[in-house]
Every structure is written in C-alpha cells, then in structure tokens.
Chains A and B, each alone.
Chain A
Amino acid sequence: MLIMLIAAILLINPTLDEGVSIKGVVQNSPAEQAGFTVEQHASPRNLEKIESINGQEINSLLDYYVAVNTSQLFIETNKGSYAVANATPTNGSLGLEVETTPRSNIRTGIELSGGVRILLEPERELESSEINTMRSAIEKRLNVFGLADISVRYASGSTDYFVVEMATNSLSQVEDLLSKQGQFEAKITNQTAYTGDDILEISKDPLSGAGVVTESCGPTQDGFYGCQYQFPVTLSGPAARNMADLTRNLTVISGSLSAPLQLFLDGVLVNELSVAASLKGRAVQDIQISGFATGTSRADAINNAKAEMVEFMGLLESGNLPAKLEIVKADRLSPKLGASFIDNALWTSLACLIFVGVIMYVRYRSFAIAIPAIITVIAEVILLLGFAALSGWNLDVASIAGFIIILGTGLDHLIIITDETRSKTSTASSLKGKLKQAFRVIMTAFFTTVVAMIPLYSAGAGLLQGFATTTIIGLIIAIFITRPAFGAMLEWLLPQK
C-alpha cells in the first residue's frame, strides 16, 4: 500500500508554485499568430506557464492583466518565447485564456474551477450515425474559443442530450453558437447562389483580409457605432458556376449588379451586399463574406464585430447541424465560489477526520486501533485523488459527495473489521480467520453499494456520473487496498489471542 501511496502523490504532483498558465488560445487572435498553441486535454500541470512579459516577472493574474495592456509584447514561458504584436490592446484582445497555475494534476470540474455547462436537446431523435456528426459539429463550433478542455458528451436515456462543459464564462456566446442551426444561404434575386455546404475553406488569416475593417467604422443613424468585418472563403466549383449563371443576366448599374447578394442565416437576412460588376457571369471561387455589427462606442463596435465574425466563422465551419438543438439547461459557474468551496471542503474533511480519530480512541481505548484507522482513511483519500489525476476525470461537487460516502463507509467497515477481530463469539478461531469473516460482510456491503450507483450512469443525463464513479472507484481502492492494509496493521499491532 505504501508504494501506491507514493505513486499517487507523484501523480497528483502538488506544488506551491504561484503563477499564471495558459489554458486556451482564441482563434485568429494576435496570440495565435505569434505561435501560441494549446495542447488538447493537457494535464493541468503540463499547461504552458508564463514566466515573464516584457521582462516583468508574472506571479499572479493581476500581474498578467497589467502587463498585457501594451501593443508590443515579448512573452517568455516555460516552453519558449514569443513576440506578439497586439494592435488594439484592450482587455481580452490578446487572445490568451489564462488561469492561475494549477496547484496539482487534479482536474476540477467546472463547478469547482468555473465554467459553463449547457444541456442541449435535439429537436428530433437522432440516428446513431448522426450523433457523431452532431458531436463533432458542436466541437468544431466551440473550437473558436480555443480552449484546452472542451467536453461534449452524449447522454442517452429516455430522452437524449448533449452535455457541453467548458472553462469559459461567456455563457451567452456559447448559447448563441449552439442554438443556431447554422443554415447559411446566399441568394441573388431570391434564388440560392450557394449554401454553407458549398463553402470549402474559410480563411482566418488577417494577412489575407480576414478581420474587422476598422476603416469602415463610423457612427450609424441611431447614435450607435458600426463596423464591417469580412473574411475570405473558397466556394466549390459547382457553386461558383451557379453564381455565374445567376449573375449572367443581370444588368450593371454604376459599377454594381442590379440585384444584391443576400446572406441568410437560419432564414434571417443578416447582410445584403452589392456585387461588383466585374463578377457578372464569372465563376469565382475565392470570394469575401462580410457582415456588419454595431456597438455603443467605436471600441465596442469593433469588439462586437470581431465576436460576430468569429461566431459566423464557427457556424460556417461546423456546417449545418443535423438537427436544431434546444438549450434545456444552462449553467455558468463562477470560479470564485468554486475556490471557496474547495477550501471549505478541505476544512470540513479535516474536522471529520479528527472526529473519527476521537471516536475510535474512545470506543476502543487503544491508540493501536485509532491511529491505523486515521491513516487508512487518509490513505484512501490520497489514493482516490491520485487515481483522479491519472485518469483525468473531473472532480465536481457531486464527486465530493462521493468522497463523503467513501469516508463514511470506510469508517463503518473499519469498525466491522475491528470488532470481528476482537470478537470472542466469532465462528473463526484465528485472527486471520476473523479478518476473513469481516471481509465477507464488507464484500457484500461493497457489492450492494456499487450496484446502487450503477443506475446513475444513465439516469439524469449522466450529470451525476462523477458521483457514481468516485464512489465506485473509491470503494474498489478501499476494499482491495486500504482496508486489507488496515487489517494487516491490526494483525501487526494487536497481541495475538
């Protein structure tokens, strides 16, 4: 058991390091251009850590936010150095999603570290082939956030749901991205010129023209500001030819064609563009898609244009969703509450632990029993956490409840073991025999509890899976490792009768 304990602690890899790590790189941002990337599903301690910005050592999020507000940044991390040019240094425009450097390899679910969770119900039942398509479409759309940890899960039950969890706080943006089916159509003279499916490639490279056209920004009629954004796309050959057919018969009026190109998203007109006369009758595959966004100020309009453009790109890239998704549950969980909750959980566990020790001592009047009991319980927790770090599953509030059960049943079983070994009425005569008896009882209890947890894997959209898994794995560790170890400790410490 000792070996496993050491292994577990190594896996958890706790540290007292303070700092800021990168958990996501937003697509099409200055950071991405400078070469920042993020490894998908990286373990928390392996995230890239920022050491300094422009020579300033970065030890906290506050340091980071202060240092980042300049246009020329030289960022050094534990993996390399980057030179970033950020034309509009406002909050968040750099494109790096950061967090305080994780203290250990234990991934915490969004309830503890903050994030959003959305449950989506398809408007009709999906065929099994469509489920995967839907899942990758959702993932593609969410990729615009560039986060390392996006979880899209399919939960089947009496009704089927997609469960999306990600560590960002832009709940509204995620909702918008996912609730739109993403049916894109460009029409001229009310005939379809091309649809989302005809778009082969979308360019996000500012060098090729993708981005907000800041020169176009100006006040609108109703007192707001507006900016135009655009990005180049490549149409398929047949679509380009179709476009040519439709424009062939139009007339030219002062440099443009007589009918505009209308862009529809999910049936709603989002933009109307005039088509240059030079495109009349020509099959052009490389075209620009543009749109317009407003805001309360010039900076606001630029930000909104950028957000809308990114959303538009996401929708086009992921393509049409096989079926429309309805949002049935949307949660945003603030990291601050999560942090205070973790602290509280630690203190509460400590209190319970002390209580356990006291009770064991009072009942059995022997340190030889109380101390191994405490050691066993602590060992169970550490092993469970080590396993969590290894397998990469997320701890959430429900898992913590699972921990409580482990500790509780742990105590119960330790008492059973102790009593059996000291019992004079047991059917077994040797210490070993008595231990065996005790274990039979525990085994039965183990199976019944495990079995009670099984329904949670499918019931309730699998939201309580974390709890079930924690309980089951914890019990397995307990039954096969720590409690036998406790038995061994008793054998060693108690006088043989």
Chain B
Amino acid sequence: MVLKNLVDFYHKKHKQLIYIPILILLFAILGIAISYFTTGEVIHKGVSLSGGIVATADVPLDIESVEQQLLAEFPDAEFTVSILQNGGEQAGVIVETNIQDRRAFETVFSQITGVPPDEMTIEQTDSAFGADFFSSLIRGVIVAFILMGAVVYFTFRKWTPALTVVLCVFADLVVTLGVVSLLGIKLSSAGIAAFLMMIGYSVDTNILLSWRMVKQIKEPIDVRIAGAAKTGLLMTATTMGALIVGIIFTNSPVIAQILSILLIGLVADVINTWLLNASILRRVVE
C-alpha cells in the first residue's frame, strides 16, 4: 500500500518534486563556490595532482609513529599516513606528502620502514606537472560533455531531450563534486577519471527514460515513466550494490576512490534522472 501511495504521490506532485533536485544543485554550487573562495581550489587535490610523493611500504607499522618520525626529519613538510588494507587487516602503510625531493624522502622512509628503496613503491609528481595534468583532465571532461550532448541530439533529433540529458548529467557531476568536496576527499588523477566514468554511467538511465518518453506514444505518460523507472532504478540499485561490494573488498586506495565517486554520482543520478529529467520531459511531452 505504501508503495502505491508513494508512486501516486510521485506522479501527481511532479511539478513540486522538481524543486528538490534544483535545490540540491544550488546547494552544491554554493558549496563549491565557498570552497573556491576560501581555498582557491574547486576541489581538494591529492598530491598526484598538486605535487608531491605517495609512497607505499608493505610493512604494517603504527601510522602515528611513522608520521612522527617523518615530521622529525622533515619538520616543514605535510604528511598524511594511512593504512594499506588487505582483506580487513593492515598490510602496510601509505604516506602522502608534499615533499618533492624523492631521494631524500626515500632514504628516510627506508630507514623507518626497513624496506630497501629498490623495493618500495613510490610515485613522485612535480607540482607544475600536477597542475597541468589537472587542467588537461578538466578540459577533457568539458569535451566529453559536448560530445555526449551531440550524440544524444543525433539520436533523438530534437533539442529538448538532448539538452535535458546534458543538464541532468551536468547536475550529477556538480552535485558529486560538491559532496566529494564536502567530505574532504583528496582527488587523485584516477579520481578525475572516475568523474568521466560517471558521465558514461549516469547517462544510461537518462537515455532510457528519454527513449521511453519520446517513443512509447501509445501509452499514457505515467505508464511510460513508471516502466522506465522500474528498469532504471533496478539498474542503478544493482550497480550501487556492485560498487559497495567492490569498495569493501578492494585493497587499492585508487580503486576505492574511483568506486566511491561513482557511488556518490549514482545517488545524485537517481535524484536528477527521476525528479528532474522526468519532470522536464513531462512538461515538454504534455
């Protein structure tokens, strides 16, 4: 019974429901703007984008003690020490720092962990390169958007579905960005790739909805949307489930970040597709 009431509510109140995604979007934009004006950056960047070193040693040490020893040698540097997980236990330590002199850091880290330099995993990025990398990726995202809009337009041959899809995916992106920023997640280069992935993922549900709305003219609008929603929500739910399973099991922080960003994006997508996209298409088709 509850489900039927919810569904009725959804169909009747669509004009009001559209405000929810719009509000969330505005909040996200506000959050990002505040972040930009206070820190000068739209998002938090990990050292692979801002410059620095990420080193991993497969010796399970106490992370606080490692951090203190590092600060003792390099008092002016910043360190983030975290645990390398493998199947629920600590398998090692991961250090992120803004130090750029790899060899100096290597020697000290080697002494602390007992891992010879030739056996440790270490990635060092110049800050200039990191900045360049980041801006090229951002450009890539913009290009992806434009191309995607073009594909949708050519499919439907009407501007409205195309623009709506672009708007909704854009909203997905911005909201995810806002949440990521709020949570303080430091993006790595792979994290930005995750945003691109998200565009691909979230567009699936929007296209499904648009297809049904535009092509199934024999059916009343409510039925069209309901049918699309049944399929679409299942899709999103299963993907979310798979992502959560992945996040729990993986031992790579890079993959964990990618999956988390996708998960947040999918949540945003549910709201934007079924409340925003649907409502806009309703008005157009009616």
Chain A residues within 8 Å of B, Cβ to Cβ = 119, 121, 157-159, 161, 169-172, 327-334, 336-337, 340-341, 344-345, 347-348, 351-352, 355-356, 359, 363, 397-398, 400-401, 404-405, 407-409, 411-413, 415-416, 419, 423, 425-427, 440-441, 444-445, 447-449, 451-456, 458-461, 463-464, 467, 471
Q: Which of B118, B136, B230, B242 is close to A352, meaning CB atoms less than 8 Å apart?
A: B242
CB < 8 Å: which of A341, A401, A405, A426 contacts B201? A405
Which B residues from 200 to 247 make CB contacts under 8 A with A?
200-201, 203-204, 207-208, 211, 215-216, 218-219, 223-224, 227, 230-231, 234-235, 237-239, 241-243, 245-246
Chosen A-B contacts, 9 in total, with CB atoms closer than 8 Å, are A327-B126, A330-B102, A344-B251, A416-B231, A425-B218, A452-B197, A453-B144, A459-B136, A460-B192
Which B145-185 residues have C-beta < 8 A from chain A?
A: 147-148, 150-152, 155
- Given the known interface contacts A328-B128, A411-B242, A463-B189, the answer about A440 and B144 at a Cβ–Cβ threshold of 8 Å is no
A416 to B212, CA, bound (A): 12
Residues of A within 8 A of B189 (CB): 460, 463-464
Residue in contact with B238 in the complex, picked from A171, A330, A415, CB distance below 8 Å: A415
Q: Which B residues lie within 8 Å of A119 (CB)?
A: 129
B238 in contact with A411 (CB, 8 Å): yes
* A280 to B40 CA separation, bound complex (whole angstroms): 68
Binding site for A on B (CB under 8 A): 56, 58, 86-87, 91-92, 102-103, 117-126, 128-129, 132-133, 135-137, 139-141, 143-144, 147-148, 150-152, 155, 189-190, 192-194, 196-197, 199-201, 203-204, 207-208, 211, 215-216, 218-219, 223-224, 227, 230-231, 234-235, 237-239, 241-243, 245-246, 249-252, 254-255, 258-259, 262
Besides the contacts A158-B136, A331-B123, A404-B246, what 19 more A-B pairs have beta carbons closer than 8 Å? Answer: A330-B123, A332-B121, A334-B120, A336-B119, A344-B86, A344-B249, A347-B249, A352-B245, A352-B246, A356-B242, A397-B252, A412-B235, A412-B238, A415-B235, A416-B235, A444-B211, A455-B141, A458-B140, A464-B193
Which residues in A have their C-beta under 8 angstroms from that of B234? 363, 415, 419
Query: Given A332-B121, A404-B259, A415-B238, A452–B148 Cβ distance below 8 Å?
Result: yes
CB within 8 Å: A-B pair count: 228
- State how many angstroms separate the Cβ of A392 from the closest Cβ of chain B: 23
Contacts of A356 in B (CB 8 A): 238, 242
A134 CB to closest chain B CB, in angstroms? 18
Contact of B211 among A341, A359, A441 (CB under 8 A): A441
A444 x B242 contact (CB < 8 A): no
Interchain CB contact under 8 A, A411 and B235: yes
Query: In the bound complex, what is the Cα–Cα distance between A408 and B194 (angstroms)?
Result: 13
Contact across chains for B56 and A409 when beta carbons are under 8 A apart: no
Question: Which listed residue, B124, B128, B246, touches A331 by the CB 8 Å rule?
Answer: B124
Flag if A400 contacts B196 (CB, 8 Å): no
Cβ of A441: which chain B residues have Cβ within 8 Å of it?
207-208, 211
A336 cross-chain contacts in B, Cβ below 8 A: 58, 119
Q: Which 3 A-B pairs have the closest CB atoms?
A: A455-B140, A449-B200, A459-B140
Per the bound structure, the CA–CA distance linking A345 and B102 in Å amounts to 29
CB-nearest residue of chain A relative to B143? A455
Q: Is the CB of B242 within 8 A of A355?
A: yes
Task: Tell me whether B193 and A425 are in contact (CB under 8 A).
Answer: no
Interface contact B155-A444, CB-CB below 8 Å: yes
Say which residue of B133, B141, B144, B151 sits within 8 Å of A447 (CB atoms): B151
Tell me the dominant secondary structure on chain B's binding face: helix
Residues of A within 8 Å of B208, CB to CB, are: 416, 441, 445
Please indicate the chain B residues that have their CB under 8 angstroms from the CB of A341 in the complex. 251-252
Q: Which of A359, A407, A425 contacts B241 (CB 8 A)?
A: A359
Q: Which residues of A contact B121 (CB under 8 A)?
A: 331-334, 337
**A363 cross-chain contacts in B, Cβ below 8 A:** 234
Say how far B218's CB is from chain A's closest CB, in angstroms.
7
Which of A169, A408, A412 is B118 in contact with, Cβ under 8 Å? Answer: A169
Q: How far is the CA of A445 from the CA of B192 in the complex (A)?
A: 21
Chain A residue, CB-CB nearest to B259 = A404
**Bound complex: CA of A121 vs CA of B251, how far in Å?**
32
Check A448 against B218 for contact (C-beta < 8 Å).
no
Minimum C-beta distance from B216 to chain A (A): 6
The answer to whether B124 and A452 have CB atoms under 8 Å apart is: no
Cross-chain contact B249 with A351 (CB below 8 angstroms): yes
Across the interface, B143 reaches (CB within 8 A) one of A423, A454, A460, A464, namely A454
- A448 in contact with B207 given A159-B132, A341-B251, A464-B193 (CB within 8 Å): yes
What's the nearest-Cβ distance from chain A to residue B59, in Å? Answer: 11
Closest Cβ of chain A to B202, distance in Å, is: 10
Of the candidates B203, B227, B230, B252, the one having the most CB atoms from chain A within 10 angstroms of its own CB is B252
Contacts of A445 in B (CB 8 A): 203-204, 207-208
**Are A407 and B129 closer than 8 Å at their CB atoms?**
no
Which A residues are in CB contact (< 8 Å) with B136?
157-158, 458-461
Tell me if A397 and B119 are in contact (CB < 8 A): no
Q: In the complex, A340 Cα to B204 Cα: how many Å?
A: 33
Residues of A within 8 A of B128 (CB): 328
Given A170, A351, A397, which contacts B255 in the complex, CB threshold below 8 Å?
A397
Establish whether residues A344 and B123, one from each chain, have CB atoms under 8 Å apart when the complex forms: no
A-chain residues with CB within 8 Å of residue B237 when the two chains form the complex: 359
- Residues of A near B139 (CB, < 8 A) are 158, 455, 459
Q: Judging by beta carbons under 8 Å apart, are A337 and B58 in contact?
A: yes
Which of B124, B147, B252 interacts with A329 by CB under 8 Å? B124
Residues of A within 8 A of B192 (CB): 460
Nearest A residue (CB) for B211:
A441
Q: Are A444 and B235 in contact (CB under 8 A)?
A: no
Q: Would A448 and B148 count as touching, CB distance under 8 A?
A: yes
The distance from the CB of A266 to the nearest CB of chain B, in whole angstroms, is: 19
Of all chain A residues, the one with the shortest Cβ separation from B135 is: A158
Contacts of A416 in B (CB 8 A): 208, 231, 235
Q: B204 to chain A: which residues have CB within 8 Å? A: 409, 412-413, 445, 449
A119 and B48 CA atoms in complex are apart in Å by 13
**Which residues of B have CB within 8 Å of A331?**
121-124
Among candidates B152, B196, B215, residue contacting A455 with C-beta atoms closer than 8 Å: B196
Q: Known contacts being A355-B245, A356-B242, A397-B190, is A451 close to B151, with CB within 8 Å?
A: yes
- Point out the residues of chain A lying under 8 angstroms from B223, CB to CB: 425
Report chain B residues within 8 Å CB of A327. Answer: 126
* Cβ distance B248 to chain A, nearest Cβ, rounded Å: 8
Interchain CB contact (< 8 A) of B230 among A170, A355, A419, A427: A419
